[in-house]
Chain A
Amino acid sequence: MGVVLRYLIKKSKFLKLLSQNALERKKQEPSQDGPNTPTNLSQSLKTNLDLIKGIIGNNYDVVIREFTFERQRQVNAALIYLSGMTDPTIINESILKPLMFESPFTINSAPKLDDVEMIRTTMLTVGEVNKSANIDEIVDSCLSGSTILLVDNCHEALMIMTADWKSRSVDEPKTESVVRGPREGFIESLLTNTTLLRRKIKNSDLTIESMKIGQRTKTSVCIAYIKGLANPLLIEEIKRRLNDIKTDSILESGYIEQFIEDAPFSIFSTVANTEKPDSAAAKILEGRAAILIDGTPFALTVPMLLIESFQSSEDYYSRPYFVSFIRMIRYLAYAISILAPAIYVALTTFHQELIPTPLLFSMASAQEGVPFPALVEAMGMGVVFEILREAGVRLPRPVGQAVSIVGALVIGQSAVTAGLIGAPMVIVVALTAVASFVVPAQTDSGGILRILFVILAGFSGGFGIMIGFIGLLIHLTSLRSFGTPYLSPLAPLSVSDLKDSFIRAPLWAMIARPRTIGWPDPKRQEFRLKPSPPLEEDTQSK
Chain B
Amino acid sequence: MKGLIKIIVTLLIIIILTLGTTGCWNRRELPALGIVMGVGIDKAEGTDKLEITAQIIKTSELKSSTPEEGGTGSGSSGAGAYWNVKNSGESMFSTVRGFTHRTSRKLYWPHNQIIIFGQSLAEQGIQEYLDFLLRDQETRLDVLMLVAEDKSSDILSVKSHLEKIPSVGISDLMDSQAANSQTSVIRLNQFVTRLMSPTTAPIAPIISVQGKADNKELAVSGTAVFKRDKLIGQMNKEETRGLLWVINEIKSGIIDIKCPDQEGTVSLEIINAKSKITSEIIDHKPYIKIDVKEEGNIGDQSCTASLVSPDAVAAIEEKENEAIKDEIESALSKAKKLNADVFGFGDILHKKHPKEWQEIKDDWDKIFPDLEVEILVEAKLRRSGNLGPPAAPPEKE
**Residues of A that sit less than 8 Å from B by CB:** 3, 7, 10-11, 348-350, 352-353, 357, 360-370, 373-374, 460-461, 463, 467
In the bound complex, do residue B63 and residue A368 qualify as a contact, i.e. CB atoms below 8 Å apart?
yes
Give Cα A164–Cα B26 distance, bound, in whole angstroms: 70
Shortest CB distance A353–B (Å): 3
| Alpha-carbon distance A350/B23, docked complex (angstroms) | 12
**Docked CA distance A357–B29 (Å):** 16
Instruction: Judge whether B391 is part of the interface by a CB distance below 8 angstroms.
Output: no
CB of B16 closer than 8 Å to a CB of A = no
Cβ of A349 and Cβ of B59 under 8 Å apart? no
**Pair A350/B25 contact, Cβ less than 8 Å:** yes
Is the Cβ of A363 less than 8 Å from the Cβ of B30?
A: yes
B1-40 to A contact mask, C-beta < 8 Å, 1/0: 1001001100000000011001001111111010100000
Q: Which residue of A lies closest to B14 (CB)?
A: A467
Judge whether A357 and B113 touch: CB under 8 Å.
Answer: yes
B62 to chain A, nearest CB (A): 4
Interface: B110 (CB within 8 A): yes
In the complex, are the beta carbons of B28 and A361 less than 8 A apart? no
Flag if A461 contacts B30 (CB, 8 Å): no
Question: B278 → chain A, closest Cβ, in Å?
Answer: 41
Asked whether A364 lies within 8 Å of B26 as measured between CB atoms, the reply is no
Inter-chain CA distance A369–B66, complex, in Å, is: 16
Judging by beta carbons under 8 Å apart, are B29 and A349 in contact? yes
Asked whether A352 and B59 contact (CB < 8 A) given A3-B7, A363-B30, A370-B31, the answer is no
**B140 — which chain A residues lie within 8 A by C-beta?**
353
Binding site for A on B (CB under 8 A): 1, 4, 7-8, 18-19, 22, 25-31, 33, 35, 57, 59-60, 62-63, 66, 108, 110-111, 113, 138, 140, 168
A369 lies within 8 A of B30 (CB) = no
Please, which residues of chain B bring their CB within 8 A of the CB of A357? 111, 113, 168
Contact of B57 among A3, A361, A366, A374 (CB under 8 A): A361
Given contacts A349-B28, A364-B62, A373-B29, 20 further A-B contacts (CB under 8 A): A348-B29, A350-B26, A350-B27, A350-B28, A353-B111, A357-B113, A363-B30, A364-B59, A365-B59, A367-B30, A368-B60, A369-B60, A374-B29, A374-B30, A460-B19, A460-B22, A460-B25, A461-B27, A463-B22, A467-B18
Complex contact B111–A360 (CB within 8 A): yes
Check B33–A364 contact: CB distance below 8 A.
yes
Top 8 nearest A-B pairs by Cβ distance?
A353-B110, A365-B63, A365-B62, A367-B30, A364-B59, A368-B59, A365-B59, A368-B60
Q: Give complex CA distance A467, B19 in Å.
A: 10
Are B33 and A352 in contact, CB atoms less than 8 angstroms apart? yes
Report the minimal beta-carbon distance from A199 to chain B, rounded to whole angstroms.
51
Alpha-carbon distance A373/B27, docked complex (angstroms): 10
Contacts of B7 in A (CB 8 A): 3
Are A366 and B27 CB-contacts (below 8 A) given A352-B33, A463-B22? no
Query: B27 to chain A: which residues have CB within 8 Å?
Result: 349-350, 461
- For the complex, give the distance between the alpha carbons of A369 and B64 in Å: 12
B110: nearest chain-A partner, CB-CB: A353
Interface centre among B1, B110, B168 (most CB of A within 10 A): B110
Pull 27 A–B residue pairs with CB atoms less than 8 Å apart, ordered by A: A7-B1, A7-B4, A348-B30, A349-B29, A350-B25, A352-B30, A353-B110, A353-B138, A357-B111, A357-B113, A360-B111, A361-B57, A362-B62, A363-B30, A364-B30, A364-B57, A365-B62, A365-B63, A365-B66, A367-B30, A367-B59, A368-B31, A369-B31, A370-B31, A373-B29, A463-B18, A467-B18
